[in-house]
Amino acid sequence: MHYLTDARGIVISISMLAFSLTATGCGTTNWSDTARTGTEQLLISTAIDEAVGNIDFAPLSHRKVYLDTDPLDGSVGRHYLTSCLRQRMLSQQCIVKEKLSEADYVVEVRAGTIGTDRHEDLIGIPATELSVPV
């Protein structure tokens, strides 16, 4: 009899373990009121600030320059990048012109990539959507 009690205890323990593994899960929430999260915006703007801060426009100092941003059309953060470049050029005494015809030099802006990557590792049971009727 003692042997049967031990076997029953093992079966109950294994059943409880199996139930607890299937009854638990992880939930995640990713919510933003804007197209990009605040963290993504901060990462992109910081990367742009650092990249533009390394550009030396000194050879174009006191020269009439047109900033061509057409190649940036469709790029994430293009307005911020354009603004940072214009500020950097002005801080290095470039004479930034609004019209191509008024400039002696053209600075064409291109960006290979502007964005963030997302990588997640999961340890445990993945989150499952559960609909609860109200």
- Cβ count within 10 A of residue 25: 12
Q: What is the pLDDT of residues 106-128, one digit of tens each?
A: 999 988 777 777 777 777 666 66
Give domain limits for the chain.
60-112
Distance CA(36)–CA(34), nearest Å, equals: 5
Judge whether residue 29 has pLDDT over 60. Answer: yes
CB atoms within 10 A of CB 80: 16
Looking at the whole model, is its pTM more than 0.85?
Answer: no
* Sequence letter at residue 18: A
- CA-to-CA separations, 11 to 15, 17, 75, in angstroms, rounded: 6, 10, 60
Tell me, what's the pLDDT at 50?
A: 95
Give residue-wise pLDDT tens across range 40-76. 889 889 999 999 999 999 999 999 999 999 988 888 7
